[in-house]
Chain A
């Protein structure tokens, strides 16, 4: 039964995504992509749950910890690089 709610959320989110992203000008497509990378790092919350389990198998520990590290890399790297790029987009006073 829960599946149908998850699908419901999925479909609406796809529409939201299309509506929001089709408004981003080509000027900002590279920062858009790095921003998408950063929010894709949301997998970190899945990784936290995976790494925070009462660990008894080394495989789970290794996989969980690596997942946290990779996702954290995405989040921090993605947001910082987006910020760096956006800072460069300036409008000069023509006079």
Chain B
């Protein structure tokens, strides 16, 4: 009994350390200390479990830890910052799969001991199963191994409904008679299928929401597994992670002015028709030399990055450009929309990687009131998040979505490959505004050309 007490006591310390880890993430100054405390909490929890007396057989544990840790370290060190979204998706999937395996062992060894156990076991394998395959599909979409476009086929809704109904009915049968190993396996397999069908109809630009929702699920699974094996620390941590995913999902959805159900089941994006922009209007292009002359005289510049910045890997070139601008006496800020990129905070990490000071990175609500005093807004690889139609065009699918008011700046440069539409498939009326100039071409090359102009002018 005393070793049980000791283990649980250490679990309390670990929970406190995890909580402090999250608290210190409230500021970039203390964040690293928080990460350190959190990992210390993890180490203590592992050691306490190993000494807890439940473990008889150490050889397999050692093998598992060596393989897992070395792969984890390798991937963590190697992954480029632009590939961070798929790395996170991979981690969601691994965590959920580990939970499912733990549930499975618990069921294999003890069976379902009582009603609560059967119910939590059921919930755990359903949510765990769909998180595993859902994350795998999200990983595939983010790393472009699967198309980023929504995958739709006829009868999709019927198939999904049928799977859900089957999972519910089989679940009731399993809870009533938890000795049915066959039902356990069928439910697990169906949940795995459901995870696939859940994520394939969701388009690439909605991935920030998908990742956040999967994050939440991976926490919920840890939590239900905690109920299955009666482990308090799993419940605490699962609840923390679950809350994290929920908060991020809400923030992402608000930033798109859509509900979670609309994102997850709407398959919007491929059906939207062009809105009523006058076809005869023409966007005005500008070449790099003229753009340089305008930038040279600018006193304040706001750079608005989007996913295109990540694709073009232009973050380092952008930092060079902003250094020249600053040397020229210009004030440079970055305006970051909450859903810019493929995951929450994606742009911030990229710009921080390029050594841009984080006090220059402004949130949407902070920068919008200042936009009218800005000389030049440079939009790099962003589209829907700066479309002014969301403010006034009630027929637009993005009507009501909060945007960065780039159009309020005196001059707007748009760095873009072509006139192609953004994810929502809508024309951006900003491109036809009188104060807007298009600079066509690869974003990185364009920025580098601007940097070269600054260099030669010195």
Q: Whole-angstrom distance between the alpha carbons of A61 and B106 in the complex?
A: 12
Known: A25-B26, A28-B25, A29-B248. Is A39-B234 also a contact (CB below 8 A)? no
Of A6, A71, A73, A74, the most chain B CB neighbours within 10 A belong to: A73
- 17 A–B contacts, CB within 8 A, in A order: A6-B226, A6-B227, A14-B242, A17-B22, A34-B87, A39-B42, A39-B241, A40-B95, A42-B18, A42-B233, A49-B49, A63-B101, A68-B61, A72-B65, A76-B76, A77-B91, A92-B357
B64 near A67: Cβ-Cβ < 8 Å: yes
Contact A81 B235 (CB under 8 A): no
Interface size on A, residues (CB 8 A): 81
Interface string of A34-64 (1 = CB under 8 A from B): 1111111111111111111111010111011
Interface string of B238-260 (1 = CB under 8 A from A): 11111111011001000000000
User: B81 contacts A18, CB within 8 Å?
Assistant: no
User: Which residues from B are CB-within-8-Å of A2?
Assistant: 230
Partner of A26, one of B39, B236, B348: B348
Residue of A26, A49, A86 near B32 (CB, 8 A) is: A86
The answer to whether A33 touches B344 (Cβ under 8 A) is yes
Contacting pair A48 B68 (CB below 8 A): no
Q: In chain B, residues 302-353, which have Cβ atoms closer than 8 Å to a Cβ of chain A?
A: 336, 338, 343-346, 348-349, 352-353
Most chain-A Cβ atoms within 10 A of its Cβ — which of B67, B105, B231, B239? B105
Closest 3 CB pairs of A and B: A72-B68, A17-B243, A68-B64
Q: In the complex, which residues of chain A have a beta carbon less than 8 angstroms from the beta carbon of B68?
A: 68-76
Q: How far is the CB of B419 from chain A (nearest CB, A)?
A: 30
Supply 8 further A-B pairs (C-beta < 8 A) apart from A26-B338, A51-B64, A75-B42. Answer: A20-B26, A23-B26, A26-B251, A33-B215, A38-B38, A46-B102, A69-B64, A77-B87
Nearest-Cβ distance from residue A33 to partner chain B, whole angstroms: 6
Listed stretches B216-224, B279-287, B440-448; interface member:
B216-224
Choose from B26, B32, B225, B349 the contact partner of A24 (Cβ within 8 Å). Answer: B26
Q: Which residue of B lies closest to A66 (CB)?
A: B101
> Which of B52-60, B193-201, B371-379 faces chain A?
B52-60
From the candidates A18, A25, A91, name the one contacting B247 in the complex (CB within 8 A). A18
Enumerate chain B residues within 8 angstroms of A37, measured Cβ to Cβ: 88, 91-92, 95, 215, 218
- Tier of interface size on chain B: 35 or more
The interface centre, meaning the residue of A16, A20, A25 with most chain B CB atoms within 10 A of its CB, is: A20
Known: A43-B98, A48-B49. A84 touches B77 (CB 8 A): yes
Which residues of chain B come closer than 8 Å to A90, judged between CB atoms? 352, 355, 357-358
A79 contacts B247, CB within 8 Å? no
B residues whose Cβ falls under 8 Å from a Cβ of A? 14, 18-19, 21-23, 25-28, 31-32, 34-35, 38-39, 41-42, 45-46, 49-50, 54-58, 60-61, 63-65, 67-69, 71-73, 75-77, 79, 81, 84, 87-88, 91-92, 94-95, 97-99, 101-102, 104-106, 108-109, 116, 211-212, 215, 218-219, 222-223, 225-227, 229-245, 247-248, 251, 336, 338, 343-346, 348-349, 352-353, 355, 357-359, 361, 363
Number of A-B residue pairs with CB-CB distance less than 8 Å in the complex they form: 356
Cα A86 to Cα B76 with chains together (Å): 13
Supposing A14-B239, A20-B22, A39-B241 touch, asked if A84 and B76 sit within 8 A by C-beta, the answer is: yes
Bound complex: CA of A31 vs CA of B350, how far in Å? 12
A60 contacts B109, C-beta separation under 8 Å: yes
- A80/B77 in contact, CB under 8 A: yes
Q: Give chain B residues whose Cβ lies under 8 Å from the Cβ of A30.
A: 84, 88, 343-346, 348-349
Cross-chain contact B18 with A27 (CB below 8 angstroms): no
Contact assessment for A20 and B56 in the assembled complex, using a CB-CB cutoff below 8 Å:
no
Cβ contact within 8 Å between B88 and A43: no
Q: Determine the distance from Cα of A23 to Cα of B344 in the docked complex, in whole angstroms.
A: 15
B316 to chain A, nearest CB (A): 12
Please tell me if the beta carbons of A91 and B26 are within 8 angstroms of each other in the complex: no
Give A38 to B35 CA distance when docked, in angstroms. 10
Knowing A46-B102, A51-B57, the reply to whether A89 touches B28 (Cβ < 8 A) is yes
